[in-house]
């Protein structure tokens, strides 16, 4: 019987739909041209770029947020990135059902960490304020991910941009 998880070990395709790095070119072209030199990782001012599958760089939002400084792209010796004038990516936050506020436990960690104020809280009569995400305001920086005490926030590819 065919097991797709084993087959994925032999390919350079990632299961996640989130781009590797901001401004990075399409994933297959990226892995074909990336030399895995680590210069982007060393240049990252927030140290959120880590060595991922196959040694290729990827963003780990559990470590912090992307400031969109463009240092990763500037440090790369290969033509793997779009111009800084382009949109960095179509990644947006997504708040899952395990969110404490959605479980009627007061928590506003994500809203406090969201610099563009894309996460606001709607007051509920006789209940806990629940988070609402404005996708138009969300920059995809991931600042809300690492501060969530229950890891209810993930970054996903968005169709809006």
Looking at residue 151, which CATH number applies to its domain?
3.30.70.3270
CA distance 65 to 145: 8
Question: Does residue 1 sit within a domain?
Answer: no
As for how many domains the chain has, the answer is 2
Range of the domain at 111: 91-157
With a CB cutoff of 8 Å and minimum separation 6, the contacts of 13 are 27, 28
Same domain membership, residue 151 and residue 96: yes
pLDDT tens digits for range 118-157: 999 999 888 899 999 999 999 999 999 999 999 999 999 8
Question: Does residue 126 sit within a domain?
Answer: yes
Question: Does residue 26 sit within a domain?
Answer: yes
Whole-model pTM? Answer: 0.82
CA distance 61 to 149: 14
Same domain membership, residue 150 and residue 103: yes
CA distance 108 to 11: 40
């Amino acid at each position: 019987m065919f097991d797709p998880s084993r087959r994925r070990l032999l390919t350079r395709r990632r299961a996640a739909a989130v781009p590797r790095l901001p401004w990075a070119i399409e994933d297959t072209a990226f892995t074909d041209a990336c030399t895995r030199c680590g210069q982007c990782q060393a240049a990252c001012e927030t140290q959120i770029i880590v060595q991922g599958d196959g040694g290729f760089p990827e963003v780990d939002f559990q470590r912090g947020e992307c400031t969109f400084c463009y240092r990763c792209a500037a440090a790369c010796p290969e033509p793997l990135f779009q111009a800084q004038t382009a949109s960095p990516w179509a990644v947006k936050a997504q708040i899952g059902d395990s969110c404490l506020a959605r479980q009627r436990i007061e928590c506003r960690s994500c809203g406090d960490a969201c610099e563009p104020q894309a996460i606001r809280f709607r007051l509920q009569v006789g209940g806990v304020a629940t988070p609402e995400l404005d996708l138009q305001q969300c920059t995809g920086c991931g600042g809300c991910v690492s501060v969530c005490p229950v890891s209810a926030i993930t970054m996903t590819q968005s169709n809006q941009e």
